[in-house]
Chains A and B, each alone.
Chain A
Amino acid sequence: MNQELTTQYMTINMGPQHPSTHGVIRFILQTDGEIIKSCVPDIGYLHRSIEKIAEGVSWQGFVPYTDRVDYLCAMNANWAYSMAVEKLISCEVPQRAEYIRVLVGELNRISSHLIAIGTCAMDLGAFTPFIQLLREREYINDLLELASGARLTYNYICIGGVMHDLPPGWLERCAEFVDHFDVAMEQMNRLITYNRIFINRMANLAPISPEMALDYNLVGPNLRASGHHIDLRRTTPYGVYPQLDFEVPVGKGIEGTLGDCYDRFFVRVEEIRESLKILRQAIKQIPSGEVQAKVKANIKPPVGHVYVRHETPRGDTGYFIESDGSTSAYRLKIRTGSFTAMSIIETLSPGAFIADLVAIIGSLDVVAPELDR
């Protein structure tokens, strides 16, 4: 009589249009009731062959395409690509331009993290924090719009500097925003970050050990949440970051295991604070002067290749460029953080609930367009 019933796992298709897969990502779940037995991510729904396009357009002409690689932090993508080309043509960027890059880049980092923690909260059923964080993001969008003329895909940072100088009054307005946002972020923390239900949902969920994080090649906040002090702005500084004073927040397992979902969430919250610190300093230190180096309209870089790493909100974004001396790249490869973050979901999710999977995706901050490019 000791016969076990043979039961089948249920195969569920989650996505590409599921409400909480952040864009078009698809998972094929095998579940036992609500418990996930296996989860296979299926990517490629947003592939736009951006890398191939680079081989057909001019060096400057590719900057707007980098906006679309990761629309949540277009400034940083512009910056990374521009840095790569500047290294290729050995171009010196004026100091003021470097500071402006830091300003807009950090603002963009804040706005990207706001989306990350907002959607993460929304996936756990808290709708209000998301909307209120979007309201704060609107202020950032206003600032970036003043600087660049666009609200999402900026095309502002260009090869050799930035497109044009900041409008008068921008710095004061930015300072005002930083002061306002300090308070707003604290309110937001009270609403969601320190919420007991929220912490119970996130703590001890899907912890990534430090070794595992390295094995899976996680980058950015996801890596730091596992306790690694690795931030490219510190370890391989670029721009004017060496002159700015800020901490690298890492996960400490404050509510449970090291590297759990709450750590990943909290590292982003802390990074927002650090970005505010950077903004304050940059506003004080910014010199006057030129904002663009002399760059020829028709760049013909020397033959060779270059690889540049840049710390975007989703981590280490790398631009590899192979140049054959012509007016466009021979080959361009973009390395993004979401891709590796996506690969670890398959390992993390077995044993979790479907509701947890949503939290895991949210805490890893996977962004579909960056994933597929």
Chain B
Amino acid sequence: MSNLLVSLGLNETLASYLAVMIWPALLVNFVAIYGGVISVVLRKVGGWMQSRLGPNRVGPGGSLQWLADAIKLILKEGIIPAGCDKLMWNLAPFLIVMGVFATFVVVPWGSYIVPSDLNVGILYVISITALTVVGILMAGWASNNKWSLLGGMRAAAQIVTYEIPVAMGLLPAILVAGSLQMSDLMKAQGWSPFDWLVFQNPFSMLAFLIFFVGSLAEANQTPFDFPEAESELVQGFVTEYSGFRFAAVGLGEFANTWVVGALCTAVFLGAGNLPAFLGEAAFLSLLVFVVKVSLVVFVMIWLRWTLPRFRIDQAMEFSWKYLLPLSFVAFFGQALFMLATYERPWAQQITSHVMVLLFLGVLFKFSGRVMANIRLQNTPVNSPVKIQPPAPAAPAPAAAEPATEA
């Protein structure tokens, strides 16, 4: 950002000061708008999947529903429950939002734009998201509601549990890049799918899956949405919140989906890398990046509308018994793979091509099943009843002519 300002003719000190102010303003506004838009997209996709319309009143196709919702939530009275711990209760939503917003400091925008390219970038993301737990726990405790308390406890247990596999899932990427810095992690990959980390070898694929699943759990997405499991805990730690605070909690949750998508893309899915002949086209790179993130977010929404929820103890088991050991496998596997292919780049080429082909095969098979399902759905039902029209009755004899007056 400061480079851009310097190129516009500002002196360097001023430019760096301005950049410090412009970035947060841009990011916070983006996150707020994204959080709103994704809430509509979520409901729209839900509508498609469930043969209903979804929001369709405000704006074309319901696309402005999020504005209406935001205005409504801000205008509503923020009801403070009796007997709650006011300070903690008021603080909690903002901690939740802060935990998510703070990650945006290092979340990249394409391969060439990183708001602040910290040298501990990825570590910073992992640690700062833990702030959300504090917020959720505070919200649960301070609400003076037992359902909220249970939700808060669940969230704490779950996020702490899944942070480990998430961090372990990132280790293979750090091995490859040899750095924690976001820009290095992105540079370690190429533009074509064969050069993406996810398709490099089976272990990196495994690492990606572990990271993705763990992130779902950390972002409280289905099938790990225990903290606010509406059929079990009413609304979990959000139960007592209303008005603006409720909007803040929701915003944090929705914004988290972007963080997960962006990290997956940046670390595993080739970020916004472009072919060499295009040069450092920052805008194009941003575009590629955003498309990839949107796809990942779409997959998250898709899972949300498809899967039932785990039980809390099963989710814990899943993390400790499966994800964690597997993440060690991925880590050591990746290390060994790198050792083995260190002097044989062709071997790496072969594995990556095989992985991509395998992925395409799975995709093909899957879409075949989807198409078969769609065809099945076209069996006729409820065709209109063909009611035989009643046989035309013999024309009634014309009413007797009124007697003409003599």
- A residues sitting closer than 8 Å to B (CB atoms) are 10, 12, 18-20, 33-34, 121-128, 131-132, 135, 139, 142, 146, 167-170, 173, 176-177, 179-181, 183-184, 186-187, 190-192, 195, 197-198, 200-201, 353-356, 358
Contacts and interface: CB of A to CB of B under 8 A. Distances in A.
B379 A180 contact: yes
B50 A131 contact: yes
B308 A197 contact: yes
Contacts of B379: 179-180, 183-184
Given A128-B305, A354-B232, A358-B231, A167 B380 contact: no
Contacts of B225: 125
A353 to B, nearest CB: 6
Nearest to B154: A34
Nearest to B305: A128
B312 A192 contact: no
Contacts of A354: 150, 232-233
Contacts of B386: 169
26 contacts: A33-B153, A125-B222, A126-B306, A126-B307, A127-B50, A127-B305, A131-B51, A132-B50, A132-B51, A139-B382, A169-B385, A169-B386, A169-B387, A173-B382, A176-B380, A180-B381, A192-B308, A195-B307, A197-B308, A197-B310, A201-B314, A353-B313, A354-B150, A355-B232, A356-B311, A358-B232
- The secondary structure that dominates the A interface is helix
Contact of B373 (A127, A167, A187, A353): A187
A184 B377 CA distance: 7
Contacts of A177: 381-382
B225 to A, nearest CB: 7
B312 A126 contact: no
B72 interface: no
B387 A167 contact: yes
B385 A135 contact: no
- The secondary structure that dominates the B interface is loop
Nearest to B383: A176
A34 B150 contact: yes
Contacts of A201: 308-311, 314
A179 B380 CA distance: 9
Nearest to B232: A355
Q: Which of A34, A121, A181 has the most CB of B within 10 A?
A: A34
Contacts of B313: 353
A23 B286 CA distance: 50
Contacts, number: 117
A123 B311 contact: no
A218 B372 CA distance: 41
Interface string B215-234: 00000001101100111111
Interface residues of B, number: 42
A154 B370 CA distance: 38
Nearest to A20: B231
A12 to B, nearest CB: 5
Contacts of B377: 183-184, 187
Interface string B41-53: 0000010011110
A312 to B, nearest CB: 26
Contact of B231 (A124, A169, A170, A356): A124
Interface of B: 46, 49-52, 146-147, 150, 153-154, 222-223, 225-226, 229-234, 305-314, 373, 376-377, 379-383, 385-388
Contacts of B51: 131-132, 135
Contact of A176 (B147, B376, B381): B381
B312 A12 contact: no
A186 B377 CA distance: 11
Contacts of A127: 46, 50, 305
Given A173-B385, A184-B377, 17 more contacts: A123-B231, A124-B231, A125-B231, A125-B308, A135-B51, A168-B387, A170-B385, A180-B379, A180-B381, A190-B373, A200-B311, A200-B314, A201-B311, A354-B233, A355-B309, A356-B311, A358-B231
A142 B312 CA distance: 40
B49 A173 contact: no
B286 to A, nearest CB: 33
Given A125-B225, A355-B312, A173 B383 contact: yes
Q: Which of B232, B234, B306 has the most CB of A within 10 A?
A: B232
A146 B387 CA distance: 12
A261 to B, nearest CB: 12
A367 B356 CA distance: 51
Nearest to B147: A12
B360 to A, nearest CB: 23
Contacts of A169: 385-387
Contact of B312 (A19, A197, A353): A353
B281 to A, nearest CB: 40
A371 B54 CA distance: 34
Contacts of A176: 380-383
Contacts of B229: 125, 355
A184 B154 CA distance: 36
A190 B377 CA distance: 13
Contacts of A125: 222-223, 225, 229, 231, 307-309
Contacts of A128: 46, 49-50, 305-306
A127 B46 CA distance: 9
A352 to B, nearest CB: 10
Contacts of B50: 127-128, 131-132
Contact of B308 (A34, A132, A195): A195
Contacts of B52: 131
Contacts of A121: 308
A176 B381 CA distance: 6
A168 B305 contact: no
Contacts of A184: 377, 379
Q: Which of B154, B373, B376, B381 has the most CB of A within 10 A?
A: B381
B231 A10 contact: no
A163 to B, nearest CB: 18
Contacts of A146: 385
Nearest to A18: B234
B388 A168 contact: yes
A191 B306 contact: yes
B368 to A, nearest CB: 14
A177 B376 CA distance: 14
B150 to A, nearest CB: 6
Contacts of B233: 354
